[in-house]
Amino acid sequence: MKCTVDIDSKEYEDRFLKHYDELKWLYCELYQNNMTAFEKLCYSMYDYYNKRKIELKNIDRKREKNPNWYKENQLLGMMLYVDAFAKNLSGVKEKLDYIEECGVNYIHLMPLLDTPKEKNDGGYAVSDFRKIKPNLGKMEDLEQLSEECHNRGISICLDFVMNHTSEEHEWAKRAKKGEKEYQDRYFFYDNYDIPSEFEKTVPQVFPTTAPGNFTWLSEIDKYVMTTFYPYQWDLNYRNPVVLNEMIDNVLNLINKGIDVIRIDAVPYIWKQIGTDCRNLSQVHSIVRMMRMICEIVCPGVLLLGEVVMAPDKVTPYFGTMEKPECHMLYNVTTMATTWNSVATRDVGLLKQQMDIVNSLPKECIFLNYLRCHDDIGWGLDYTWLMQFGIGEVSHKKYLNEFFTGKYPNSFARGELYNADPKSGDARLCGTTASLCGIEKALHEKNNKDLEKAICLDIMLHAYMLIQSGIPVIYSGDEIGQLNDYSYHNVAGHCEDSRYVHRGKFQWDFALKKIEKKSIQGRVFSGIKNIAEIRKQFSVFSSNADVWTIHTGNKSVLGIVRANKNEKLIALFNFSEYDKTVCIDEDDVEYIELISKIKVQTNKINIPAYGVYWLLKK
C-alpha cells in the first residue's frame, strides 16, 4: 500500500520519496504492518514541514547544500542550565555577548521543558513536552532566543528526553486513574512476576539513589517500569502511538528553531525480557527512522546521541554510510580516560584510546568534553590495563580516592556519585577546576600548587580542543568555577551529588576575567587563546589525519594532526614535573602556536602540566 499524503511541495516530495521505502519498511517491521499508524506519522511529518518557518527552511536548504557544516574546526560549544546561567531564557538572550566573547557558537541549553518542582532529575523528568518551565519563560522566548542566536551564527542544542516521562505527565496521570489506553503507553504489571524476570538481567542505573527498575504504585496496585528514578516512567515504544506522539513532540520543539537534538538516554528506549534492555536492535531502527524523519522535515537539524556506554556500543549509533543514525556522539571513553591520566600521570591508556578513535571513519563526529552535568563513570579499557596487573575494582577505588582528595597528596576535590556499598563501585562529580586542584590550593593558600592547578586546567582544555569534532565547555569552567556545596541543603537535590558541579554561574567572578593575574583571567584567556588558534588553522578540521606518537615519556602525550597544507605536533604533559622529550622527526624548527616561540623537535623541554602545539613552518 502506498502512502496517501497529498504533497504539493517538490522539495518535500523529493526528500520524502528518497526515504519512503526504508522508513515504511522499518516502521512496518516494528509495528506489524500497522499502516494506519504509519500514515498518521506521514501526515504529521508533512504538517510539521508546512508549519516550519521560512527562515528555518532556508537554514535547512543552506545546510543541505553543505552537509559538512558542523565538521569543520569552527564550532565551539558550551552547555549550561538556563536558570543557573542567566535566570531565564530572556536572560540568556541578554548574555549572548558574553557567549560570543568566549568564542562559543553552539549552546546546549539543558532541559527546559516543564517538570514537577522537586522530582525532576535536573529537568530530565518532563511533565509537558509543549511547555517551557514557567520560571524560565515561554515557548515564544525560546523562539526569540533562537532567532537572535541564528542572527549571530550561534546554534542551539536541546534535549529530547524520550525514554520516559515524569509521573506528573498527562499520560501518567491518566494511567494512574486507570485508563488502559494510557497504561499501555508505559509498562504496567499487576504483580512482580514479569518485573522479577526483567530484574534478573537488567542492571541498575542509580543503584544507590534509585535501586531497582520497577516502582510499586499503591494507589492502583500495579508496578510500573522506572529504569531511572521512580518518578520517571519508561515509555513503551512497542506501542506505535508512543512513537508517533513523541515524534510530534520533537518536531514541535525543532520548529521552535532548534539546531541540534540531544537524544537523551537513547540506548534504553526498547525493552525485552531476558536482555539487559540496552542497545537493542529496535533502538537502532527508531534512531534511523528519526534521522530519516529529520532529513525529510528539517534536514538542517543534527541528532546528538547520548550513549554513555563502552566504545563498542557507542559507535553503532553512527549507523553506516548508507544508513546513518546520529550525526554526533559523546566521546565518553576519551573523557573518562583523560581523568585517568590526570590521576596516574600516565598517558598509555589515553594514547591507546585515541588510536581507537582516530581509526574510525572521519564521518564519525564526536562531541568532546571534559565533564558535563552528569557524573564521570570509570568506563575504562580494563582488559588493556590488566596487562600491567591493574585490576578494575582496585583501580576504580584508587581513582575515586584520588579525585575525592582521600589519596595521599591528591589535589582533587570531587564527590562520589551513586557509591554502591555492595559492589564498592562509584562514579565521580566535580567541576573541572576543583578536580584540577584549584579549590584545594586556594583553600590552603598554596600559590605553587595553584599555579600547577591552573596549568593543568588549561592543558586539559587544550587536549579537548586538539581532538577532531566539537569541543564543548561546561559553563563556568571557562572561568575556573569551583564546586558548589550548597546543594546539600536543597530539598530534591541533596541526595544527588551531580548538583555539586551544576552551581549558579558566578557573574561577579566572571568580571575578574579582565584581571590578567586572577584565576578567572588566567583560565579564561588561556582557553580563549587556544580556542581561537583552533579556529584559525584548517589542520584542526575533522578532515585532517590524526595519529599519536611515542614521546619516550610516559606522562607526555604526543598527537599529530596533518592535512595537505599543515602539520601540527601537540604535546601534553600530564605530570607535575617538567619533562624532556625527543620526537622522532627530522631536526626541523617548529613554531609553538600558544606562546609563539620557536622550538627544535630533537629535544623539547615541556614544563609541568604544559602544552605545546607545534606547527611545522
Contacts with 301 (C-beta within 8 Å, 6 or more apart), sequence order:
60, 254, 258, 259, 260, 261, 294
306 in catalytic set: yes
Q: Residue 319 region, left (φ>0) first, then alpha (ψ -120 to 50), else beta?
A: left
487 binds ligand GLC (CB under 6 A): no
Binding mask 111-130 for ligand GLC (x = CB under 6 A): ----------xx-x------
Is 264 a residue of the active site? Answer: yes
For residue 51, what is its C-alpha cell? 508549519
**Three-point CA angle 165, 167, 171, nearest 5°:** 70
Provide, rounded to whole angstroms, the least separation between the CB of residue 409 and ligand GLC.
32
Minimum gap (Å) between residue 291 Cβ and ligand GLC: 20
Picking from 286, 285, 271, 493, the residue whose alpha carbon sits closest to that of residue 373 is 493
Closer residue to ligand GLC in complex, CB, 122/324? 122
By beta-carbon proximity to ligand GLC, the closer residue of 46 and 268 is 268
* Phi, psi for 569 (deg, rounded to 5): -110, 125
Q: Which of 83, 141, 306, 415 is catalytic?
A: 306
Residue closer to ligand GLC by CB (options 114, 306) is 306
Q: Does 277 bind ligand GLC (CB under 6 A)?
A: no
User: If we measure between CA atoms, which residue out of 315, 286, 322, 290 comes closest to residue 303?
Assistant: 290
CB of 158 to ligand GLC, least distance (A): 13
Residue 12 or residue 231: which is nearer to ligand GLC going by CB?
A: 231
Task: Name residues contacting ligand GLC, limited to 215-244 (CB under 6 A).
Answer: 228
Alpha-carbon distance of 12 to 16, in angstroms, equals 6
The sign of the torsion formed by the CA atoms of 360, 362, 366, 368 equals: positive
Name which of residues 304 to 323 contact ligand GLC (CB under 6 A): 306
Question: Of residues 168, 374, 477, 478, which one binds ligand GLC by CB under 6 A?
Answer: 374
Counting other chains too, the contacts that 140-147 makes at CB distance below 8 Å and 24 or more residues apart are: 141/88, 141/89, 141/90, 141/93, 142/89, 142/112, 142/256, 142/257, 143/256, 143/257, 144/89, 144/90, 144/93, 145/89, 145/90, 145/92, 145/93, 146/256, 146/257, 146/258, 147/55, 147/257
First to last CA, the chain: 63
Which CB, 124 or 171, lies closer to ligand GLC? 124
Closest approach, Cβ 146 to ligand GLC, in A, equals 22
User: CA geometry: angle at 463 spanning 462 and 467, to 5°?
Assistant: 110
CA 175: distance to chain centroid?
Answer: 32
Q: Shortest distance, CB of residue 87 to ligand GLC, whole angstroms?
A: 21
Which 8-state DSSP code applies to residue 476? T
Q: How far is the CB of 367 from ligand GLC (least distance, A)?
A: 13
Binding-site size, ligand GLC (CB under 6 A): 10
Measured distance CA(454)–CA(526) in Å, rounded? 9
Q: Which is nearer to ligand GLC, 333 or 344 (CB)?
A: 333
Q: For ligand GLC, which is the closer residue by CB, 314 or 531?
A: 314
Q: Give 161 or 292: the residue with its C-beta nearer to ligand GLC.
A: 161
- Do 235 and 247 meet the contact criterion of CB atoms below 8 Å apart? no
d(CA 82, CA 97): 15
Comparing CA positions, the residue from 365, 356, 290, 279 lying closest to residue 329 is 365
* Residue 265 sits in the site that holds ligand GLC (CB under 6 A): yes
Smallest distance, ligand GLC to C-beta of residue 388, A: 31
Report the residue number whose CB is nearest to ligand GLC: 124
Residues 6+ apart with CB under 8 A from 517: none
Q: Which of residues 504-543 bind ligand GLC (CB under 6 A)?
A: none
Helix (H), strand (E) at residue 415 = strand 415-417
Q: How far is CA 472 from the centre of its chain?
A: 8
Of 60, 167, 259, 264, the active-site residue reads 264
Quote the least distance from Cβ 187 to ligand GLC, whole Å. Answer: 16
Residue with grid cell 494511567, as numbered in its chain: 175
Say how many C-beta atoms besides its own lie within 10 A of residue 597's C-beta: 10
Give the residue, chosen from 60, 114, 168, 264, that forms a contact with ligand GLC under the rule CB under 6 A: 264
Element (H, E) at 416: strand 415-417
Are 304 and 260 a contacting pair, CB within 8 Å? yes
**Whether the Cβ atoms of residue 469 and residue 366 lie closer than 8 Å to each other:** yes
State which residue, 121 or 477, has the beta carbon closest to ligand GLC: 121
d(CA 126, CA 164): 8
Cβ proximity to ligand GLC: between 348 and 492 the closer is 492
Min separation Cβ 463 and ligand GLC, Å: 23
Residue 609 CB, nearest approach to ligand GLC (Å): 29
Residues 144-173 that bind ligand GLC (CB under 6 A): 161
Which residue ranges make up the site for ligand GLC (CB under 6 A)? Answer: 121-122, 124, 161, 228, 264-265, 306, 373-374
Residues with a catalytic annotation lie at 264, 306
